[in-house]
């Protein structure tokens, strides 16, 4: 089954959900209908696993804009399959969880699930795209889908602000990324990712290489919430908890990391990329870990936790990017170990973070609050939720016997052995190791702190708890399954490593066969420095979580946080842009027309400077007789008269006469079809003007203002000269062949004997269709304006 068929099935399910809006009973089943989407994609990608494992990649090519090398190219290799499985399988858990979380009576379920499927479809499009432009389209589509999901409860101010902030920041990053893609295209002449990677050396030696890296990193950092672009992620917690669980564990925030991994063979050729990605990731990791402790909201704690964990993964991708420069020998093994750890932790993070968010959703659903200041002793009433969240939190903190411990050990191993890499010395190694250890200590502190405050101690039922607190087993099912995988992966890590992580690593690394460098994940490596660092983290973290009262520190907030800086920047931008637009858009049509014409005249004048002034004496002038001269004099006289006439109706009639004079010119030039068209259009236009003016208030025009009239006349003359000049230039231009040769076969191709009709109805039929739509929209707008006064009066009477 083709990947395109899967995408079409997802769109079909969205259409079915749209139909369910018509029936209340069907709306209640919309969650289970939507659940088919991740189930179908999960089955499809699981079936592809044996093929990809054996190196048989799936490629889909559908021509689109082939001249620009923009085609619907999709590719399923190890990396795309890894992320596709992550998106699909976590999607099954999230979609099912949403059926239990959302109210069937109060929430508009079809709309929610349509947005959620669009979100999943967009992510699958990103990770399977083999064309940069197609990837960008799906990239921005995830921003649109996340905007719709975050603002799902649009009546809440926090939902509106969170959606707007996330949309603005991620779309800004996407535009920067698109600039980087276009730079790559100017060098290679292709948007196909596999072809681009074959031109890595050519791109690396280009003067645009560093700007390309900067633009793409901005896109990846904004999407994956790296410092200082992280501020949108905590605000996105205004979304329903199923959305938060999906967004944080398997979808949007992982898109930036996917992009870094996909382009590592290219971008990793620069040490600039190596250092920036590594240190931005580490700074983000420690920043997120420290700020997680300052939060009262459970989802806020997990949001900064995600920022920290993403920073950790990004730093590992940065360290592993050096593989592009050293694809053989011991250095290649060091780089591949770190990349393996990054991918392995991506999988681990998806599991424990998804389980944590679902646990928080259960707490919020049953108690009516997520504020840790109002929660305590929930272990007694939510014992299974306590177990799920405790094990997930400990896995996130890297405690032994859980999967997070394995990837955290590999992370420490990569940090302490960084001195072996040519880009690092012992001083830098100590610095990055210290940052990683301190951030890990805070990770354990906020993980245990969260569990202690919420579940341990004496139970006090929150005042806003709507019903007796209990935990439905159906509610716990998805998070319980994810929790069970945490110790299972610890016991058999190489099963997951061989079948899921290793194929992804093969798609990133180059040079010698990566299998020889792939690590054998072991639960015990003996007494070594990474183990010592883990022991230090565990001891200090446990003491810090249990002995320190972190509530008093959580009240500390900086007066000028990064989020407020973003907000102030947007407010200033909105103020000055609004002021500028108000100065420009002053509701005076004459000003708009004059400004538009002057810009057009300036562009034409600049073009004439570039190509030279037309040679008027070489222009061929057709013969003309008395009738042409008389018609021209009439047009000239009426044109001058229009400047001085103040009555609207008279102006409309005289303007129509000018149009009829043009019709006479067409007849004299033996163009009856054009004459007929001009006659019909001019008649209809004149009638419409008269009808419109009859509905408008009879306000007399102001007296003549000599200065304003002089400006209007001057601009009109300049425009007339410009148009005539363009005609002269067009007549003497022989740089290109006549367009008429394109239509020599018009009768044979279209069966139309009238060339104008053939052009409008066949060659440019799509243009004609949209022109008709524009007229319909304009007509509806005019009709609305004409009836606005009557409607307003009716409202006032009511």
Q: Are residues 110 and 175 in the same domain?
A: yes
User: Shortest CA distance to 257 belongs to which of 221, 207, 212, 218?
Assistant: 221
Q: Are residues 482 and 534 in the same domain?
A: yes
pLDDT for 750 equals 81
Q: Are residues 410 and 475 in the same domain?
A: yes
* Cα separation values, 488 from 93, 411, 550, Å: 18, 20, 33
pLDDT for 569 equals 72
Q: Are residues 233 and 111 in the same domain?
A: yes
324: in domain:
no
Q: Are residues 506 and 567 in the same domain?
A: no
Lowest-pLDDT choice from 208-212, 218-222, 497-501 = 497-501
pLDDT for 39 equals 93
317: in domain:
no
Q: Which residues of 655-675 are buried (b: 16+ CB within 10 A; e: fewer)?
A: bbeebbbbbbbbbeeeeeebb
Q: Are residues 451 and 548 in the same domain?
A: yes
User: Shortest CA distance to 382 belongs to which of 364, 396, 401?
Assistant: 364
Q: Please, are residues 538 and 444 in contact by the beta-carbon 8 Å criterion? A: yes
Judge whether residue 795 has pLDDT over 50.
no
Per-residue confidence band for 517, with pLDDT thresholds at 50, 70 and 90: low
Residue range 299-319, pLDDT digits in tens: 889 999 999 999 999 999 999
Residue range 395-448, pLDDT digits in tens: 999 999 999 999 999 999 889 888 888 888 888 999 999 999 999 999 999 999
Q: Please, are residues 334 and 417 in contact by the beta-carbon 8 Å criterion? A: yes
Q: Which of 239, 255, 271 is the last residue of a domain?
A: 255
Q: Are residues 358 and 239 in the same domain?
A: no
Q: Are residues 145 and 54 in the same domain?
A: yes
Count CB atoms within 10 A of the CB of residue 213: 22
This prediction's pTM: 0.78
473: in domain:
yes
Eight-state DSSP code of residue 614: -
Note if the bond before 154 is cis, omega within 30 degrees: no
Eight-state DSSP code of residue 469: -
462: in domain:
yes
Eight-state DSSP code of residue 507: T
315: in domain:
no
Tell me the average pLDDT across 606-632. Answer: 74
Q: Which residues of 476-509 are buried (b: 16+ CB within 10 A; e: fewer)?
A: bebbbebbebbeebbeebeebbeebbbbbbbbbb
- Computed on alpha carbons and rounded to an integer, the radius of gyration of the chain in Å comes to 33
Hey, which residues does 74 pair with through a beta bridge?
60, 129
623: in domain:
no
Q: Are residues 539 and 402 in the same domain?
A: yes
Q: Are residues 356 and 385 in the same domain?
A: yes
Judge whether residue 240 has pLDDT over 90.
no
Q: Are residues 356 and 247 in the same domain?
A: no
688: in domain:
no
Report d(CA 415, CA 418) in Å as an integer. 5
Number of domains in the chain: 4
Q: Are residues 462 and 548 in the same domain?
A: yes
Q: Which two tokens stand for residue 54?
A: 């054996």
Lowest-pLDDT choice from 240-244, 334-338, 563-567, 578-582 = 563-567
Instruction: Look at the chain and count its residues.
Output: 798
Backbone angles phi, psi at 40, to 5 degrees: -60, -45
DSSP line for 44-91: HHHHHHHHHHTT--EEEEEEEEGGGTEEEEEEE-HHHHHHHHHHHHHH
| Structural domain containing residue 571 | 557-585
293: in domain:
no
């Amino acid at each position: 089954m083709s990947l395109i068929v899967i995408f079409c099935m997802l769109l079909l399910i969205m259409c079915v959900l749209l139909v369910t809006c018509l029936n209340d009973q069907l709306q209640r089943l919309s969650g289970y209908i939507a659940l088919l989407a991740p189930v179908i994609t999960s089955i499809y990608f699981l079936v592809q696993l044996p093929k990809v494992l054996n190196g048989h990649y799936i490629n889909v090519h559908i021509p689109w804009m082939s001249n620009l090398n923009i085609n619907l190219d999709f590719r399923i290799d190890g990396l795309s399959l890894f992320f596709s499985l992550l998106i699909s399988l976590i999607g099954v858990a999230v979609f099912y969880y949403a059926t239990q979380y959302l109210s069937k009576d109060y929430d508009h379920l079809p709309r929610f699930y349509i947005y959620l499927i669009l979100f999943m479809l967009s992510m699958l499009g990103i990770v399977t795209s083999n064309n940069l432009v197609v990837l960008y389209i799906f990239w921005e589509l995830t921003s649109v889908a996340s905007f719709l999901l975050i603002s799902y409860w649009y009546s809440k101010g926090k939902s509106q602000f969170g959606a707007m902030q996330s949309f603005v920041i991620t779309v800004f990053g996407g535009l920067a990324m698109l600039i980087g893609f276009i730079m790559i295209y100017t060098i290679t002449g292709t948007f196909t990712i596999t072809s681009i990677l074959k031109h890595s050396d050519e791109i690396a030696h280009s003067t645009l290489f560093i700007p390309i890296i900067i633009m793409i990193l901005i896109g990846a950092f904004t999407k994956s919430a790296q410092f200082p672009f992280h501020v949108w992620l905590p605000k996105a917690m205004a979304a329903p908890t199923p959305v938060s669980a999906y967004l944080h564990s398997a979808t949007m925030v992982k898109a930036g990391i996917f992009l870094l991994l996909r382009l590592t063979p290219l971008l990793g050729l620069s040490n600039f990329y190596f250092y920036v990605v590594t240190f931005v990731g580490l700074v983000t990791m420690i920043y997120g870990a420290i700020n997680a402790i300052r939060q009262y909201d459970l989802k806020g704690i997990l949001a900064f936790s995600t920022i920290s964990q993403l920073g950790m993964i990004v730093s590992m991708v940065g360290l592993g990017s050096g593989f592009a420069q050293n694809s053989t020998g011991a250095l290649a093994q060091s780089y591949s170990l770190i990349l393996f750890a990054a991918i392995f932790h991506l999988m681990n993070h998806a599991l424990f973070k998804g389980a944590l968010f679902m646990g928080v959703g259960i707490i919020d659903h049953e108690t009516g609050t997520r504020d840790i200041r109002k929660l305590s002793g929930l272990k007694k009433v939510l014992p299974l939720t306590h177990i799920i969240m405790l094990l997930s939190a400990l896995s996130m903190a890297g405690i032994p016997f859980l999967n997070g411990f394995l990837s955290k050990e590999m992370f420490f191993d990569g940090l302490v052995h960084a001195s072996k890499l040519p880009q690092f010395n012992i001083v830098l190694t100590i610095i990055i190791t210290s940052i990683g250890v301190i951030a890990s200590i805070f990770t354990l502190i906020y993980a245990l702190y969260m569990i202690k405050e919420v579940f341990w101690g004496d139970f006090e039922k929150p005042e806003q708890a709507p019903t007796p607190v209990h935990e439905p087993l159906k509610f716990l099912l998805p998070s319980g399954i994810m929790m069970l995988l945490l110790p299972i992966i610890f016991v058999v890590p190489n099963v997951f490593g061989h079948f899921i992580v290793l194929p992804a690593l093969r798609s990133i690394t180059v040079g010698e066969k990566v299998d020889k460098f792939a690590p054998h994940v072991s639960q015990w490596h003996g007494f070594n420095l990474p183990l010592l660092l883990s022991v230090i983290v565990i001891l200090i973290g446990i003491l810090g979580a249990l002995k320190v009262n972190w509530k008093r520190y959580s009240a500390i907030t900086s007066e000028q946080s990064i989020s407020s800086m973003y907000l102030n920047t947007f407010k200033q931008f909105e103020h000055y842009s609004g002021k500028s637009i108000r100065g420009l858009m002053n509701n005076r049509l004459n000003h708009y027309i004059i400004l538009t014409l002057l810009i057009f005249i300036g562009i034409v004048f600049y073009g004439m400077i570039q190509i030279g002034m037309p040679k008027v004496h070489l222009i061929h002038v057709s013969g003309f007789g008395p009738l042409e001269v008389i018609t021209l004099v009439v047009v000239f006289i009426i044109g001058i008269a229009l400047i001085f006439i103040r009555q609207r109706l008279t102006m409309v009639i005289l303007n129509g006469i000018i149009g009829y004079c043009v019709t006479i010119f067409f007849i004299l030039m033996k163009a009856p079809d054009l004459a007929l068209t001009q006659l019909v259009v001019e008649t209809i236009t004149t009638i419409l003007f008269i009808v419109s003016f009859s509905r408008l208030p009879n306000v007399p025009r102001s007296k003549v203002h000599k200065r304003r009239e002089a400006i209007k006349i001057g601009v009109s003359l300049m425009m007339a000269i410009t148009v005539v000049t363009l005609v002269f230039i067009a007549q003497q231009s022989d740089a290109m062949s006549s367009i008429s040769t394109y239509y020599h076969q018009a009768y044979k191709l279209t069966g139309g004997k009238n060339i104008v009709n053939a052009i409008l109805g066949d060659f440019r039929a799509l243009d004609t269709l949209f022109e008709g739509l524009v007229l319909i929209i304009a007509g509806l707008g005019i009709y609305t304006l004409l009836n606005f006064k009557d409607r307003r009066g009716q409202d006032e009477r009511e």
